Chains A and B, each alone.
Chain A
Amino acid sequence: MWENIKEFASTFFVTGDPLIYGADVSIALTVVAIVFVLTKYKKWGWLWREWLTTVDHKRIGIMYLIASLLMLFRGGVDAILMRLQLAFPNVEFLHSDHYNAIFTTHGTIMILFMAMPMMFGLFNMVVPLQLGARDVAYPFLNAVSFWLFMLGAMLFNLSFVIGGSPDAGWLSYPPLSENDFSPGPGQNFWIWGIQISGIGSLATGINFIVTILKMRAPGMKLMKMPLFSWSVLSSCIMIIFAFPILTVTLALLFLDRFAGAHFFTMDGGGNPMMYLNLIWMWGHPEVYIVVVPAFGIFSEVVATFSKKTVFGYKSMVAALMTIAIASFFTWAHHFFTMGTSASVIAFFAISTMVIAIPTGVKVFNWLFTMFRGRISFKQPMLWTIAFIPCFLVGGATGVMLAVAPADYQYHNSYFLIAHFHQVLIGGVVFGYLAGIYYWWPKLFGFKLDEKLGKWGFWFWNIGFYVCFMPQYALGFMGMTRRYYTYGWDRGWADLNLISTVGAFLMGIGFIFQVWQIVYSIKRGERDTTGDPWNGRTLEWSIPSPAPFYNFAVVPEVKEADDWWHTKQAMANGTYKKEPVHLEPIHMPKNSGIPFIMSCFWFLVGFGFTFGWVWMAVIGFIGVALSMWARSFQYDTDYYVPVDEVRSTEASLGRVV
């Protein structure tokens, strides 16, 4: 008996590496600490009522934000470990297996469990406020999306200490990711972690499309809608077309592994190239899904901090929509080197270059928003200004990569690595950070400290260039991605060391930001006006932090940048104050079902990961029961009485 348990434990738990034992200990200590604090301060009920069951889009946004920052930490540690291993030739710090697992989890986490939730966090924090809505279209579904993401992410991260991490690359190309070459639970963790959170992403896409199309304040025509909301619409359109492809592809790969199917295997009639096509039909739109909302953020930030209307609004909208469509016609540029006919290659080369056109137009429009404006260098604007040169260069190397015959020389080299980190860090991360700094006061009621933020900013920026510029050069030197080691003979040593230094600088930048958040919670400048940046759109017309029902009175929108025009009218005395008529506010009730159902999904994933069908069946039954329970729940909403609205507004310093 004891022997059996020992044997099970030795395969179930990941063993043998001091790094992993260290992680085990720190995870155990963190869990103990959390449980202790919650118990000691009697916070379990609070946690359940206020957070685990909430359907408030702002709280869901905050939870997305916290989760994504934790994942940024984990993905960042992965990056640091990789850079340590590559700092010098022939380093014996990580073994091949371990290194392979780390780059796999780094990529997967950064895209799917860091960028995606940070993006959804921003959607949730901002879109309803910008539209003058009181919540998203489907608040319950919104909570389901979040918890599916969260439990999917937990399942994926569990692979670090239980069962073994996936190690076939962040997109797990078969046949390498099939049973023949990757036996064991690692790849299953990858499939199910992404699968579960991916269903949540799809639901979020639907939710925000409906919110944007149906929940805008009266008078807000689509062409008067703020550009961030436009970018969310563009992103969500891509989500609803791209994510089903991902779901199906992962399901097919799982059938290969679990049921002995032969969709992508080498033998039995399978075709691995079919997987490459499918995964990139999702994967290419995916990178636009995450970058387009960043474009929206820049549009808001540039206008606000230049004190000027955004330039070429119609062009901006046209560009966003063009990108949404064109992004579905470029997927094959991820494997130009497949050796297919010249006509196919030429088509995808041109279609890829074409995407640069609307993107370039947006850059010009941002520049000319600043032109003849008055630019103040607050944190959101700093990140935006840093983004422009970074993204220009990243975009240019993207165009270079689109030149298919030249791509044969860049493909899978560090040139490619440098390119996509430049657009993903310079575009997505800088953009989301700009957005977080910008909307932080609206969510939390205080600003993040400028001084610490600037330290973080400069460490990030300088670190970025030190880390990734040498990688372009390494690409020209023929260094291939996913090498866990290299020799002295190729001349790669110096540049790799510099790159590692840069990674550490970015890590220091991140530490400054964490410090900044902690410091600002106590000492940050309080926002008493609700409009700390002299904003232009509706979210700045309400108090900070926004009350749970958002708007005491739903605003009537007359033009684009309505709040800006209202303020101008107030300033020159032409503003006529309408008599306020408060009405009871219709709000959704909290529900524990999203959390419980997602836990059952976790069981499904965990069961299938280890091939324990009984556990998966229990999970599926739980999911079905949760849905059944929900469909017979009729008491799902309530009205906030006028008195409560009045007293809440008064406590936030507003008289209505």
Chain B
Amino acid sequence: MNKLGTIVSFSVANEEGVEEMNRAKTFRQMGFWLMAIIASVLLSGCGSDYVVLNPKGPVAETQYNLIMISVILCAIIIIPVLALTAFIVYRYRDTKDNKAPYKPDWAHSTTLEVIWWGIPVIIIAILGYFTVRDTYALKESPNQAVKPMTIQVTSLNWKWMFTYPEQNIATVNYLEIPAGVPVQFQLSADGPMNSFWVPELGGQIYAMSGMATELYLQADKPGEFYGRGANFTGEGFAHMEFKVEAKPQEEFDKWVQQVKNTTPVMTKEDYEELRKPGLTDKKTYSAFPEGLFEEIVMKHSHGHDMDYVMKKPMPATGQESGNKTDEASSTETHHHNH
């Protein structure tokens, strides 16, 4: 895959740049093996393990494209400069028979300096344009045609709690989402700051106490993805991995129904139990205490106004993105939020 190929050529050129100057055979052999190892490892591993480079939804896709744009723009500068370095270091080495010109006092050229102040400015301007464009774009739902679904995410020590306000169900340490539907994640924490990351669906956003941050993700097709906590929260942090399963809408609805019918209700006591530091298995609840997520957010927000803390109004109090056709679900959300 050429995306990794570019990185390989960075490191390869790198070694060459350093190597030109040393003619000792041993070192050259070591350099060769080094390059061989790096190249083989990076090239062999272009499979699905490279989750960031295998986007499975529009958000990750946007980010993947940005990564590629930035790699190409950087390569435009880096590769010629690496080649230039190797050339200069080789050509102007201090040997007796070196015929290359030697100008010990040549130390200024306005033209050259304008060029190398100019080139990075142009590259940065181009990259800056794409960056700003997508920074704004990712604040919106990636799919304006379909009304987003809301899932509330709470980082606890050391487990993830997911509450589905529209369905009034809750899970711990795993997520089920409908494929093809944008999901608006509202993130918070009842403990140290964490970061919610499902690389195949898109980048991460912090989950912080006293605040509700927001992240849109969408899985284009059904599939299984791994999510994880990406900001250190202490002892059990490494175990805060979770599976995300995207299903077709009907199957998702069926799953919700099944959860409603077969699993216990989460009580306040259950939540307090979850809050305690420690690891837990996956859990599923057919209902959760009304307004639990909002309560968690408000508990640490010190009397700030709800609209201030939760930057975006809740679906019921005014939906910005998506259409307002689905009155029924809107009413339902209203019920759970207040």
Which residues of A are in contact with B by a Cβ distance under 8 Å?
96-97, 100, 168-169, 173, 175-176, 181-182, 266-269, 271-273, 306-315, 335, 337-339, 341-342, 345-346, 349-350, 353-354, 356-357, 360-361, 363-365, 367-377, 382, 385-386, 388-390, 392-393, 396-397, 399-400, 402-413, 454, 458, 461-462, 465-466, 469-470, 472-473, 475-478, 480-486, 490-492, 494-495, 498
Contacts of A367 in B (CB 8 A): 81, 84-85, 88
Decide: A403 near B127, CB < 8 A? Known: A338-B213, A473-B41: yes
A480 near B230: Cβ-Cβ < 8 Å: yes
A407 near B92: Cβ-Cβ < 8 Å: no
B108 near A311: Cβ-Cβ < 8 Å: yes
A408 near B51: Cβ-Cβ < 8 Å: no
Q: How far is the CA of A404 from the CA of B132 in the complex (A)?
A: 8
> What is the number of residues of chain B that contact chain A, defined by CB distance less than 8 Å?
114
A399 near B208: Cβ-Cβ < 8 Å: no
Instruction: Select from chain A the residue with minimum beta-carbon distance to B3.
Output: A476
Q: How far is the CA of A307 from the CA of B93 in the complex (A)?
A: 11
Instruction: Select from chain A the residue with minimum beta-carbon distance to B200.
Output: A478
Q: How far is the CA of A175 from the CA of B194 in the complex (A)?
A: 11
30 A-B pairs, CB-CB below 8 angstroms? Answer: A176-B234, A266-B300, A306-B92, A311-B106, A312-B112, A313-B108, A338-B205, A338-B208, A339-B214, A342-B136, A349-B128, A354-B124, A356-B120, A357-B120, A360-B77, A364-B116, A372-B102, A374-B93, A374-B98, A400-B67, A404-B135, A411-B203, A458-B22, A462-B30, A462-B34, A466-B34, A482-B238, A483-B238, A490-B226, A494-B45
B81 to chain A, nearest CB (A): 6
Decide: A175 near B30, CB < 8 A? Known: A97-B235, A346-B135, A476-B53: no
Q: How far is the CA of A637 from the CA of B208 in the complex (A)?
A: 57
Contacts of B100 in A (CB 8 A): 372
B11 near A393: Cβ-Cβ < 8 Å: yes
Instruction: Select from chain A the residue with minimum beta-carbon distance to B105.
Output: A309
A459 to chain B, nearest CB (A): 9
Choose the segment among B175-183, B185-193, B244-252, B285-293 that binds chain A (4+ C-beta atoms closer than 8 Å).
B185-193
Contacts of B132 in A (CB 8 A): 346, 349-350
Of B109, B208, B226, most buried by chain A (CB within 10 Å of CB) is: B208
A409 near B52: Cβ-Cβ < 8 Å: yes
Q: How far is the CA of A349 from the CA of B128 in the complex (A)?
A: 8
B89 near A375: Cβ-Cβ < 8 Å: yes
Q: How far is the CA of A405 from the CA of B88 in the complex (A)?
A: 37
Q: How far is the CA of A54 from the CA of B204 in the complex (A)?
A: 52
Q: How far is the CA of A357 from the CA of B124 in the complex (A)?
A: 8
Contacts of A349 in B (CB 8 A): 128, 131-132, 135
- Does chain A have a CB within 8 A of B101? yes
A536 to chain B, nearest CB (A): 10
Instruction: Report which of B50, B214, B226 forms a contact with A476, defined as CB distance below 8 A.
Output: B50
Given contact pairs A100-B232, A465-B14, enumerate 8 new A-B contacts (beta carbons under 8 Å). A100-B234, A266-B300, A309-B105, A372-B92, A405-B137, A409-B63, A472-B7, A473-B50
Instruction: Report which of B77, B131, B192 forms a contact with A346, defined as CB distance below 8 A.
Output: B131
- Does chain A have a CB within 8 A of B143? no
Q: How far is the CA of A382 from the CA of B104 in the complex (A)?
A: 20
A350 near B67: Cβ-Cβ < 8 Å: no
Decide: A181 near B191, CB < 8 A? Known: A411-B204, A411-B230: yes
Instruction: Report which of A353, A409, A480 forms a contact with B229, defined as CB distance below 8 A.
Output: A480
Contacts of A485 in B (CB 8 A): 238
Q: How far is the CA of A341 from the CA of B139 in the complex (A)?
A: 8
Question: What are the 6 A-B residue pairs with the smallest beta carbon separation, nearest first?
Answer: A408-B203, A339-B213, A491-B49, A176-B192, A396-B74, A364-B116
When each residue 186-224 of chain B gets 1 if its CB lies under 8 Å from chain A and 0 otherwise, what string results? Answer: 010001110101010011111011110111000000000
Instruction: Report which of B42, B139, B234 forms a contact with A342, defined as CB distance below 8 A.
Output: B139
